[in-house]
């Protein structure tokens, strides 16, 4: 099954991740994270499959994150509220977000991609 690769083309990290997938001949479907952000249900499933804390899904270095003052809100918000926020704007999601429906990677770390996507 091809990976779903949620990315933002102007993001350097996303471009590096895409190049890595191409070089390792990993089949993937590109999804523009701002034009077609994952739904709340998709995000919840990815979060549950990832084994990561939900706050790891936030693009904490993004302008939108800072504008909304989320640093102070994340600790006290419910899981439901955090998923609503993430689903509301693709720019709030740490990218690239890559999944095969079971496994999930958030961001790009070459060793992590190697371990996760080259089985």
Mean pLDDT of 52-74: 94
CA distances from 63 to 75, 83, 91 (A): 19, 19, 8
- pLDDT over 80 at 1, yes or no: no
pTM of the entire predicted model: 0.94
Kindly report the CATH number that applies to the domain delimited by 3-117. 3.40.30.10
Going from N- to C-terminal start, the domains of the chain cover 3-117
The Cβ of residue 17 has, within 10 Å, a number of other Cβ atoms equal to 24
What b/e string do you get for 29-61 counting C-beta neighbours within 10 Å, with b at 16 or more?
A: ebbebeeebbeeebbbbbbeebeeebeebbbee
pLDDT 10s digits, 10-49: 999 999 999 999 999 999 999 999 999 999 999 999 999 9
Residues 87-107: what's their mean pLDDT? 97
Which pLDDT does position 119 carry in this prediction?
67
Supply the pLDDT for residue 48: 97
- Percent residues over pLDDT 70 in the chain: 98
Residue 117: predicted pLDDT: 96
- Contact status, residue 103 vs residue 28, Cβ threshold 8 Å: no
Q: What is the pLDDT of residue 80?
A: 97
φ/ψ bin of 86: left (φ > 0), alpha (ψ from -120 to 50), beta (otherwise): alpha
Q: What integer best gives the mean pLDDT of the chain? A: 95
Give the model's pLDDT for residue 94. 97
At residue 96, the 3 state secondary structure works out as coil
């Amino acid at each position: 099954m091809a990976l779903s690769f949620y990315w933002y083309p102007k993001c350097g990290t996303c471009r590096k991740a895409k190049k890595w997938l191409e070089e390792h001949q990993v089949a993937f479907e590109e999804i523009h994270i701002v034009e077609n952000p994952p739904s709340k249900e998709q995000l919840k499933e990815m979060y549950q499959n990832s084994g990561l804390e939900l706050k790891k899904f936030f693009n904490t270095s993004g302008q939108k994150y800072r504008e909304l003052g989320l640093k102070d809100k994340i600790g006290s918000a419910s899981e439901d509220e955090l998923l609503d926020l993430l689903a509301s704007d693709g720019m709030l999601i740490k990218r690239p977000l890559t999944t095969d429906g079971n496994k999930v990677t958030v961001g790009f770390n070459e060793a992590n991609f190697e371990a996760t996507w080259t089985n």
